[in-house]
């Protein structure tokens, strides 16, 4: 009966969808939500720019009065319309200025998208590292299970003591606990990753397309940085603002009215022109824009220096971790090929105790765990560096 139960499970695992890193990124939910949010924000800011640059609506005025004079008396009333007209290209310049500010903001928001994608890549690599380590623990457990079986036979034939058999059994049990722990952790990591996408939960992750561990990265991104693009948009916005406040006459107001004064009909037409030269408002606005332009330049220089500082620090960390990984890997290879193999032969020939053999095995697990941690730290540093470099593709 057990065979029939396991068969469908084995077949489902065999035909489960295998997901690559690129497929995981393409089906991730967070970037799509961010893109939709940015699209809605863009539309909202466009509508806001149109609303804030509209001229005042047409005004209707009406009044009613009563004249109680000694001569004629009666009701008097008046009605009037007035409308402001913005002259020249002031509305267009205001809209352009607000549009440039909106573009600068949306450009900077693209950094969030890059950072989210790189965090997903890091989670993918952390999972693949743990999967690889899980295979190592599984291999060690299988070896000790086989050794335990052989030693059980040897104990039954009186070749080894009960103490030696128990020590091997304890190590096998310890490895089984480790295997179950890392297996649960690895499954949880996979569920978390797939829950962040629209991919089926039973899919498997390829782990055949991880980024290589190397000393450093070369930035092939020749496009201007997002900070630079946003800075240029804001500088252009201040230039448009200076042009806008150079207008001598910004608007005029036209009004028409009709007044009924007892037996008289009065018609009026009026024109109101603001005289900008009688106020310093435009000069203050231009001064503010000039100071704003200087502040933007200083802020951009600060961002560049901070970016250089972060890149330098992360590149040094990446190089240091690469060298540590290489040294640790070489140390493990030497340990396996030399000391561990010698200890295995010595134990097989009865020249070493079971305690010495088990300690040599546990030393290997410690070295492999240290290497695993260093590789995880390497990829965390790598994808932080990718985010700062604004690298989107592999």
Residue-wise pLDDT for 167-176, tens only, equals 989 989 999 9
CB 72 within 8 A of CB 27: no
Tell me the C-alpha distance between 16 and 200, whole Å: 9
**Cβ neighbours for 255, distance < 8 A, ≥ 6 positions apart:** 80, 81, 82, 83, 268, 269, 270, 271, 272
| Structure confidence at residue 7 as a pLDDT band (50, 70, 90) | very low
Residue 289 has pLDDT above 50, yes or no: yes
Element (H, E) at 276: none
Stronger pLDDT, 243 or 275, i.e. the higher one: 243
Query: Radius of gyration over alpha carbons of the chain, in Å?
Result: 38
Residue position matching structure tokens 């940015």: 38
Domain boundaries, the chain: 25-389
Give the count of beta carbons closer than 10 Å to the beta carbon of residue 17: 10
pLDDT grade, residue 206 (50/70/90)? very high
Fold topology of 25-389: Outer membrane efflux proteins (OEP) (1.20.1600)
Q: With cut-offs at 50, 70 and 90, classify the pLDDT of residue 71.
A: low
For 218-253, the pLDDT digits (tens) are 765 567 889 999 999 999 999 999 998 887 778 888
Give every CB contact of residue 13 below 8 A, 6+ residues apart in sequence: 204
Instruction: Compute the distance between CA of residue 372 and CA of residue 125 in angstroms, rounded to an integer.
Output: 11
- What is the arrangement of strands in the sheet containing 73-86, beginning at the earlier edge strand? 59-68, 73-86, 251-261, 264-272
Give the torsion sign (CA, 57, 88, 47, 281). negative
Instruction: Dump pLDDT digits (tens) for 89-143.
Output: 888 888 999 999 999 999 999 999 999 999 999 999 999 999 999 999 999 899 8
3-state secondary structure of 67: strand
pLDDT (tens digit per residue) in 322-364:
999 999 999 999 998 998 889 888 888 888 888 888 889 889 9
Q: Which position has the token pair 């310890």?
A: 174
Residue 213 DSSP code:
-
């Amino acid at each position: 009966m057990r065979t029939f139960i396991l068969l469908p499970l084995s077949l489902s695992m065999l035909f489960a969808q295998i997901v690559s890193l690129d497929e995981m990124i393409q089906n991730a939910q967070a970037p799509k939500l961010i893109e939709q949010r940015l699209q809605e924000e863009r539309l909202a800011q466009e509508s806001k720019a149109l609303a804030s640059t509209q001229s005042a609506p047409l005004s209707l005025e009406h009044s009613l009065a009563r004249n109680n004079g000694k001569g004629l008396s009666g009701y008097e009333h008046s009605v009037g319309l007035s409308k402001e007209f913005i002259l020249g290209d002031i509305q267009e310049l205001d809209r352009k200025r607000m549009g440039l500010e909106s573009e600068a903001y949306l450009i900077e928001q693209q950094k969030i998208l890059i950072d989210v994608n790189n965090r997903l890549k890091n989670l993918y690599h952390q999972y693949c590292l743990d999967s690889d380590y899980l295979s190592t623990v599984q291999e060690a457990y299988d070896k000790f299970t086989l050794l335990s079986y052989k030693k059980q036979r040897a104990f039954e034939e009186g070749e080894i003591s009960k103490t030696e058999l128990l020590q091997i059994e304890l190590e096998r049990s310890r490895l089984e606990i480790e295997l179950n722990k890392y297996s649960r952790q690895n499954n949880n990591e996979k569920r978390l990753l797939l829950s962040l996408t629209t991919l089926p939960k039973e899919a498997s992750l390829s782990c055949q397309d991880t980024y290589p561990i190397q000393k450093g990265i070369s930035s092939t991104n020749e496009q201007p940085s997002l900070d630079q693009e946003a800075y240029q948009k804001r500088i252009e916005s201040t230039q448009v603002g200076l042009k806008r406040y150079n207008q001598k006459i910004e608007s005029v107001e036209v009004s028409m009215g009709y007044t009924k004064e007892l037996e008289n009909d009065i018609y009026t037409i009026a024109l109101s022109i603001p005289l900008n030269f009688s106020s310093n408002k435009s000069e203050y606005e231009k001064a503010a824009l000039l100071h704003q332009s200087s502040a933007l330049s200083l802020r951009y220089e600060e961002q560049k220096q901070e970016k250089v500082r972060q890149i330098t620090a992360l590149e040094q960390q990446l190089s240091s971790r690469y060298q540590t990984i290489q040294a640790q890997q070489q140390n493990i290879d030497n340990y396996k090929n030399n000391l561990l193999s010698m200890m295995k032969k010595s134990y097989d020939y009865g020249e070493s105790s079971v305690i010495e053999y088990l300690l040599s095995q546990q030393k290997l697990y410690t070295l492999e765990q240290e290497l695993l941690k260093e590789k995880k730290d390497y990829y965390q540093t790598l994808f932080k560096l990718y985010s700062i470099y604004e690298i989107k593709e592999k």
